[in-house]
Amino acid sequence: MSKIIHVTSVEPKYSYSTEKIIEAADRNWLSQLDANTRRMALKIFKGAEIESRKSAVPLEMVFADLTFELKNNAYMEAAIELARAVLKKALDESGVDPKEIDYLITTSCTGFMIPSVDSYLVDELGLRKDVIRMPITEMGCAGGTAALTYASHILKHQPTKKAAIIAVEIPSITFQKKDLSMENLVSTAIFADGASCVIMGETDKLAPRIVDTDMYHFSHTSKLMGYHLQDSGLKIILDKEVPDRIQEHFPKFFYPFLERNKLSVESIKNYLFHPGGKKIINRMEDFIGRYRKDISDSKDILRTRGNMSSATILHILERFMKKNNLQGDLGYMLAFGPGFSAHSLLLRWE
């Protein structure tokens, strides 16, 4: 299978500390709620252990009572801008000519647009007229790993081809001002905007090759996570059982995936986990920590950038790509998404 030639990211326009977000939330929303709800929201915000997050729109707009049309227009504008910037940056940094891109795969779940965001990039960045576009819109936080899986299968028998993968998410614009549910409070406390791009193909330089992939579907769990479309936009579905179900199923797909590749937990040096939120990543750390494996990179991305949905795992991969002395190392990537499903990838730096 092909290599991951380059990974990069761009930052949305606005950057806020958690303290600033809480101030804006209190000024524009929480102060209007009853004392118990306000107290609970502040506890969730502070307990998320996220220091700062990026946003494509100002906080006053995040916490405004906007129609779905206005929210989606903001999503479209920001998504196109970020996707354009991150693809250009990836091409410039990797030295890959836009005309070399055969497949353009985009993933996003935080808004709706037809044509999809990739269509705006073909002419603006000089891609070929016969580039094959593949938008992925319903995979949620697993969109980044899903896109890598699809690209690796597409390129498996086409070693001369190249693919560009773009993950762009604007969850800040999905905030529901009149929704006082625990789901809305938690999602407001952890999600952030972000964009990443991966260039895949063959290269002589040291880079991770995707050796194997896997998608594991949890039975009867389609209602655990997703969005419900309503007049005010995309209302988050985030069941409180998600951490428990992940903990329950993790051994059921993790060990078999290693076994079919004739590997042990100890033989894999680098673990790249989509952090989700504090509860999920802490449970993953407890599990993998038994084998003395470190996932501090995943925790650091969550702490400093928040959960950027599908773009998060690519931010973590970008960090690993910048490390030295990875020749011959194995890596395991994992992200969870609506369905409910777990997406695994095995990497080898060569």
123-177 pLDDT, tens per residue? Answer: 999 999 999 999 998 999 999 999 999 999 999 989 899 999 999 999 999 998 8
Query: Which of 201, 223, 239 is at the close of a domain?
Result: 201
Do 173 and 260 share a domain, yes or no? no
Quick check: helix, strand or coil at residue 150? helix
* CA distances from residue 174 to 62, 147, 215, 312 in whole angstroms, order as listed: 8, 23, 27, 17
SS3 105: strand
Question: What confidence tens digit (pLDDT) does each residue in 14-54 have?
Answer: 999 999 999 898 888 888 778 888 888 888 888 888 999 99
Confidence of residue 334 (pLDDT cuts 50, 70, 90): very high
| pLDDT score at 53 | 94
Q: Which domain holds residue 294?
A: 208-349
Tokens of 304: 């400093």
Q: What pLDDT, on the 0 to 100 scale, is given for residue 181? A: 84
Q: What pLDDT sits at residue 90?
A: 98
- The angle that helices 312-321 and 143-155 make with each other, rounded to 10 degrees, is 60
pLDDT, mean of residues 287-310? 94
Percent with pLDDT over 70 in the chain = 100
Say yes or no: 332 and 294 in one domain: yes
Of residues 349, 8, 350, 307, the one with CA closest to residue 164: 8
Region 95-100 average pLDDT: 96
Regarding whether 234 and 186 lie in a shared domain, the answer is no
Tell me which H or E stretch contains 93. Answer: helix 68-94
65 and 46 inside one domain:
yes
Beta bridge partners of 331: 270, 347
How large is the average pLDDT for residues 291-297? 93
Task: Report the distance separating Cα 233 and Cα 342, nearest Å.
Answer: 27
The pLDDT, as a whole number, for residue 238 is 83
- Same domain for 168 and 232? no
Average pLDDT, whole number, for the chain? 93
Q: What is the pLDDT of residues 173-215, one digit of tens each?
A: 999 888 888 888 888 889 999 999 999 999 999 999 999 999 9
Which residue reads 């906007």 in tokens?
66
How far is Cα 237 from Cα 235, in angstroms, rounded to an integer? 7
CATH at residue 213: 3.40.47.10
Cβ neighbours, 10 Å, residue 1: 21
DSSP 3-state of 339: coil
CA–chain centroid gap for 231, Å, is: 26
* pLDDT score, position 315: 97
Distance CA 131, CA 127 (A): 7
User: Coil, strand or helix: which one is 53?
Assistant: strand
Question: What is the Cα–Cα distance from 172 to 190, expressed in whole angstroms?
Answer: 10
How far does CA 305 lie from the centroid of its chain? 11
Q: What is the pLDDT of residue 54?
A: 96
Pairing of strands 163-169, 103-107: parallel
Residues 164, 61 share a domain: yes
> pTM, whole model, 2 decimals?
0.94
